[in-house]
């Protein structure tokens, strides 16, 4: 099949590459000239484990191409076009659709054959119908609109694409159904379902899944505060809850709050959609409110411990990415923590295995960055563990203690054992830990 993917970011590049790897001919398009130039040189603009090897192999085989020219890519013939551009939050929290509609208009003008046009981006309910209207007005060829939301997790995106829990397709044409079933069948050989539904339900399913996961996180974070206030231990409570099969173990970890390019904006967008439709959004607003507070928690604990004036204090962060195995720092809790610490006059040092280039672009010399985690804490008054990268889980505690000016450790991911840390002589504080 000839496929065009518009938007070559965390989603589009994985989608395009994995489809090329299953034998299709794929052109990935992006308006970011830098990104495309890098890809043409065989460099990968994002960090995603395993992606570099797949991109290089499929590009070499001639199945994967990159360009900045949407019109040309589509006009060369495309049976399926995926729209995978960003949909960041607008001023009122609703999803900004201007990139999606701009790309859609170019695609509509450039069709040379009947084409299935699929939304991969996360978009509010009703967007598919708006796309249908754009294509109806502009396209000179038959078109078939579908919604195929993406559920991949950054850091494990290839695995998620190759072995999805389920694939959701919203469409109302046999043409779209047939094309997408044929495309995805190789990825669901273990009988995980391709769920066919209407476009509106597919669009809502994506937001529902992300908002529910965010709700679990905020629920656990609120409960962690209660554990702190009552002397219970949230890790013990988590296990006690998780073994209930109706609840399960996943996404019950309390920490520094959720970040990234999906949960924050998707919760906001769903709340905005509910408001627009004049239906209740109390749960969604509470989820967001708890998370906003949670992202500040570690910094507030530093202020509580050392006082409001942090001038002369050196605070070290282990982890900047919003979660391990990604270089994505969009809406990362680390950024909120750093802002507060700097506002109180602290000197901030930080390290991250892969997110430092992105962090340096954003923060410049406001923060001192170190490749070596132990160099980052040398002479620091406190260590804040913000992202639970594997390499931070079992560090050399004696070295940490020696490097720190005061052995204060705020564990934002509950990766260490409180009694063991205290035995080692740390002034340790986790989130909701006894
Ligand atoms: P991203 O910012 O990494 O990539 C989007 C890309 O689209 C950028 O490279 C941008 O230059 C490009 N672009 C914008 N306008 C364009 C145009 N007119 N033509 C061509 N390219 C254009 O974003 P992402 O993280 O890949 O997310 C894309 C969409 O997928 C969003 O709607 C997001 O909510 C959704 N999503 C993301 C994830 C994730 O983990 N990142 C998971 C599921 C769904």
CA of 88 to the centre of ligand 1 (A): 9
- pLDDT above 70 coverage of the chain, percent: 100
Looking at residues 368-390, what average pLDDT do you find?
Answer: 98
CA of 24 to the centre of ligand 1 (A): 21
Contact (CB, 8 A) for 10 and 261:
yes
Report the atom number in ligand 1 closest to the C-alpha of 210: 43
Contact (CB, 8 A) for 119 and 100:
yes
Residue 190 has pLDDT above 90, yes or no: no
- pLDDT above 90 coverage of the chain, percent: 98
Closest protein CA for atom 41 of ligand 1: 10
User: What's the pLDDT band for 189 if we cut at 50, 70, 90?
Assistant: confident
User: What's the pLDDT band for 191 if we cut at 50, 70, 90?
Assistant: confident
Q: pLDDT of 64-123, one tens digit each?
A: 999 999 999 999 999 999 999 999 998 898 999 999 999 999 999 999 999 999 999 999
According to the CATH classification, is domain 2-197 in 2.60.120.470?
Answer: no
Residue 341 has pLDDT above 90, yes or no: yes
Looking at residues 417-423, what average pLDDT do you find?
Answer: 97
Contact (CB, 8 A) for 28 and 13:
yes
Looking at residues 259-273, what average pLDDT do you find?
Answer: 95
The predicted pLDDT at position 112 comes to 96
Contact (CB, 8 A) for 383 and 305:
no
- Give, in words, the CATH class of 211-429: alpha beta
Could you say which of 18, 28, 171, 262 is catalytic? 262
Q: CA 98 to CA 120: how far, in whole Å?
A: 15
Closest protein CA for atom 11 of ligand 1: 32
pTM: 0.95
Domain ranges of the chain: 2-197, 211-429
Pocket test for ligand 1, best of 86, 96, 158 (most atoms within 8 A of CB): 86
Looking at residues 154-174, what average pLDDT do you find?
Answer: 97
**Kind of pairing between the strands at 408-411 and 382-385:** parallel
Q: Is 97 in the pocket of ligand 1 (CB under 6 A)?
A: no
């Amino acid at each position: 099949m000839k496929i065009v993917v518009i938007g070559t970011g965390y989603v589009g590049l994985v989608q395009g590459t994995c489809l090329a790897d299953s034998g299709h001919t794929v052109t990935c398009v992006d308006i970011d000239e830098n990104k495309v130039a890098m890809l043409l040189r065989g460099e990968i603009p994002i960090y995603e484990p395993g992606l570099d090897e797949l991109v290089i192999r499929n590009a070499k085989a001639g199945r994967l191409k990159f360009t900045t020219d949407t019109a040309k890519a589509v006009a060369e013939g495309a049976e399926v076009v995926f729209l995978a551009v960003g949909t960041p939050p607008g001023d009122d929290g609703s999803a900004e659709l201007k990139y999606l509609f701009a790309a859609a208009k170019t695609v509509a003008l450039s069709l040379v054959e009947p084409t299935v046009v699929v939304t991969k981006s996360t978009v509010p309910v009703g967007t598919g119908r708006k796309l249908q209207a754009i294509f109806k007005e502009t396209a000179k060829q038959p078109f078939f609109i579908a919604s195929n939301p993406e559920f991949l997790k950054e850091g494990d995106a290839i695995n998620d694409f190759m072995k999805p829990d389920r694939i959701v397709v919203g469409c109302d044409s046999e043409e779209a159904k047939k094309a997408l079933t044929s495309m995805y069948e190789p990825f669901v050989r273990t009988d995980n379902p391709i769920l066919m539904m209407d476009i509106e339900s597919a669009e809502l399913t994506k937001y529902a899944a992300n908002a529910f996961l965010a709700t679990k996180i905020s629920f656990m974070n609120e409960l962690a505060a209660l554990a702190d206030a009552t002397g219970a231990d949230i890790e013990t409570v988590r296990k006690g809850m998780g073994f209930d099969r109706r609840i399960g173990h996943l996404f019950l970890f309390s920490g520094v709050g959720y970040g990234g390019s999906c949960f924050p904006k998707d919760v906001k967008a769903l709340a905005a959609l509910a408001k627009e439709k004049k239906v209740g959004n109390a749960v969604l607003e509470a989820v967001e409110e708890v998370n906003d507070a949670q992202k500040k928690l570690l910094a507030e604990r530093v202020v509580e411990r050392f006082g409001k004036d942090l001038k002369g204090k050196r605070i070290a962060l282990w982890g900047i990415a919003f979660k391990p195995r990604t270089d994505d720092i969009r809406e990362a809790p680390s950024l909120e923590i750093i802002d507060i610490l700097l506002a109180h006059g602290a000197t901030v040092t930080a390290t991250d295995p892969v997110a430092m280039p992105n962090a340096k672009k954003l923060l410049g010399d406001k923060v001192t960055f170190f490749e070596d985690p132990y160099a980052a804490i040398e002479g620091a008054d406190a260590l804040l563990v913000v992202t639970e990268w594997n390499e931070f889980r079992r560090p050399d505690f004696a070295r940490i203690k020696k490097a720190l000016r005061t052995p204060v450790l705020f564990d934002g991911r509950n990766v260490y054992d409180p009694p063991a840390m205290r035995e080692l002589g740390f002034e340790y504080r986790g989130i909701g830990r006894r």
